[in-house]
Amino acid sequence: MPHRNIRIFKSGNIKRTPFNEHHTLYNELLKHDIIYVEDYDACDICVIKTMKELMLTIDKYGNKKKYLLWNSEPCQDKNFVSKIRANDATVHIMNTYTGDIWINNFCVYSPKQWTNSEQLLKLNSQVDFSRPKGKKIVALVTYRNNEKKWSNIRNGVEIGLSYRRTQIALEGHHLGKVDVYGKGWPDGISLEDSRMNIDWRGRKEIILKDYYFNLALENTSTDYYCTEKIWDSIRAGCLPIYYGKDNKIYENFPRHSFIDYSNFNSPSKLFSYIDNMGFQEFKERFNSCLKVCLKAAKNEQLKPNIRAKRVENLTEKLHFIMNDKPF
């Protein structure tokens, strides 16, 4: 028996979610019994992006409807469970930690950007760190210096990386090892807020191409939360300084490819390691990273399969919510 239509009411800001008409999954959802309504009273499920908006919506509309909190950014929702109770309302969750949004390491990977091995050939022809910035590290990050705010403890382990990333960049700046780009930094630290540029991805690539090392830690360390940071770095010829503990990045990247900051217990040890790195080691590590990208680019079904799986996960969740009993 076919499913009946599920009527979705979008509450608050739902940008960068599959329920926004500009998202790559939006039209796919319309093919799976999903329709959108403008009136809360007419909906089956109310979709919301953040806890703050959720609480405001429940205060306004009450607990007579079903709720889905959908957010792919760990700093905006830190729940580790897929269902909670909020002010007597049952709230289902899909987020960075529930395992049904980020399904593998290639969710934001773009095969179209990897049509040849030009960058590999260029680096193989070099014999030293001859780019304008030499062995300096670049960090394109927003300033996050409130340790408590950016902390996220799971099973007694700190998996939030935003504060740690800031501290690495800050110490590196003071030592003359790191050039910082980004917003919110104290005066005299950031060289530029690259995201102020309309084509910020293009501007980012231009900046990266002056460097050989890029501080590319994610906002959190969890399975398959692999954003554009590592891919942009490699595409520009930078060796990523990444974080490989408590996630599944090594399902695709070999050991000793990117520089894994989780192998160091201080920024100074990281900087010392890079200071002592020869160009041959750099090339071997970078080539290992690049081969991952080129291999994925040859897989023609990579992105369609990812999109299909993400749509399947979401539609299954919506139908589950429709049949689930409240707390």
258 and 141 share one domain:
yes
pLDDT mean by block of 10 residues, the chain; 327 residues: 80 93 93 93 95 93 92 94 94 97 97 77 87 97 96 96 98 98 96 81 93 98 98 95 97 98 96 98 95 93 96 96 87
Q: Domain check: are 79 and 129 in the same one?
A: no
Sign, CA torsion 121/122/123/125:
positive
For residue 118, give every residue at least 6 positions away whose Cβ sits within 8 Å of its Cβ, in sequence order, or none: none
The verdict on residue 211 lying in a domain is: yes
Longest dimension (CA), the chain: 67
Domain identity same for 287 and 165: yes
Non-local (6+) Cβ contacts of 141 within 8 A are 165, 166, 169, 180, 181, 182, 215
Residues in the chain: 327
Separation CA 10–CA 46 (nearest Å): 6
Asked if 27 and 151 sit in the same domain, the reply is no
Residue 193 domain flag: yes
Last residue of a domain, one of 98, 127, 146: 98
pLDDT at 1: 42
Same domain, 23 and 54: yes
Domain identity same for 117 and 266: yes
Look at residues 252, 174, 165 and name the one whose alpha carbon lies nearest to residue 217.
165
Q: Do the domain assignments include residue 142?
A: yes
- Which of 67, 98, 129 is the endpoint of a domain? 98
DSSP class of residue 177 equals -
Within a domain: residue 293?
yes
CATH number of the domain that 201 lies in? 3.40.50
Q: Could you tell me if 146 and 23 lie in one domain?
A: no
Q: Note whether residue 317 is domain-resident.
A: no
Looking at the fold, whether 188 and 221 belong to one and the same domain comes out as yes
User: How many structural domains is the chain composed of?
Assistant: 2
Same domain membership, residue 41 and residue 86: yes
Please check whether residue 1 lies inside any domain of the structure.
Answer: no
Residues 200 and 287 occupy one common structural domain: yes
Structural domain contains residue 126: yes
Q: Are the CB atoms for 67 and 46 separated by under 8 Å?
A: yes
Containing structural domain, residue 245: 111-297
Distance from C-alpha of 58 to C-alpha of 62, rounded to nearest angstrom = 5
Q: Please indicate, yes or no, if residue 285 is contained in any of the structural domains.
A: yes
Same structural domain, 53 and 176: no
Residue whose C-alpha is closest to residue 51's, from 96, 86, 98: 86
84 beta partners:
91
- 291 and 152 within one domain: yes
Contact criterion met (CB below 8 Å) for 96 and 222: yes
